[in-house]
Amino acid sequence: MRIEVIGAATLYLGDYRDVLPTIGRDLAVISDPPYGIGYKHSGKVGAGKKAQGSARTGEIIGDDQDFDPLPWLEFDKVLLWGANHYSHLLPKGKWLAWDKHCGVGPKVSFSPVEFAWMRGGGRNDIHRQLWIGLCRGKYTGQMRHHVMEKPIELMSWCIGHVDPSPTQTILDPFMGSGTTGVAAVQMGRKFIGIERDEGYFDIACRRIEQTQRQADMFIKAST
């Protein structure tokens, strides 16, 4: 297991099953886990056709096994994306939606909206941010680092929903390229990230380190 400490962020290269026994449970879990979709999508392959990865990049999309949310239900504060695919395994909670088409994106055969489940009550909510059809780097300033990457603004919105106070540490056990960690650092939160793919782990380290440097420079300039 490899551990990198970057400011208020602690990142683990390894399997969450090995890391969880070493950390506490007073954490807010926010993650976009692999949930067994196991398909690729392109103009030539219809949605839902079994394959090994993305037709555009060759990267694996999702996982070849069903996702079990049970370990994360031990936490008091939890938000899991893709939860509509395993909703039968979840207790009653609050639903969040991300409209990534906003009525102006190109027509696509896959879903223009994604759903997250959140423990607790309250009204359901929606985040509208155009993502489909955008050249991320040109129009948003965000390079695409992961085949299933979500925007930083979306993950900041999630953090605000799960824990509006700036006190609790955010945990992403399926960190990917570190977008949740970037959002957490920007918001002045402590963050724990776990990722088993070394390539994505290295990308997450670089992104979070850069964000931490920018935050440190801002604090230094304002004092």
pLDDT at 135 over 60: no
What is the pLDDT at residue 37?
54
What is the pLDDT at residue 50?
40
Within-domain flag for 54: no
pLDDT at 198 over 50: yes
Within-domain flag for 132: yes
Within-domain flag for 125: yes
Per-residue pLDDT averaged across 53-66, rounded? 48
Q: What three-state secondary structure class fits 129?
A: coil
Within-domain flag for 55: no
Within-domain flag for 51: no
Q: Give the residue, 182 or 62, on which the prediction is more confident.
A: 182
Query: Which pTM does this prediction carry?
Result: 0.81
Q: Are 59 and 200 in contact (CB under 8 A)?
A: no
Within-domain flag for 48: no
Q: What three-state secondary structure class fits 16?
A: helix
Indicate the number of domains in the chain: 1
Q: Give the residue, 74 or 218, on which the prediction is more confident.
A: 74
Q: Give the residue, 179 or 163, on which the prediction is more confident.
A: 179
CA distance 117 to 83: 6
Domain containing residue 121: CATH number: 3.40.50.150
Within-domain flag for 109: yes
Q: What is the mean pLDDT of the chain?
A: 82
Task: Label residue 131 by pLDDT band (50, 70, 90).
Answer: confident
- Write down the residue that tokens 């900041």 correspond to: 156
CA dihedral 107, 109, 110, 114 (to 10 degrees): 40
φ/ψ of residue 201, rounded to 5: -60, -45
Within-domain flag for 155: yes
Of 35-39, 124-128, 158-162, 212-216, the range with the lowest mean pLDDT is 35-39
> Which residues form the domain of 92?
2-33+69-222
pLDDT at 190 over 60: yes
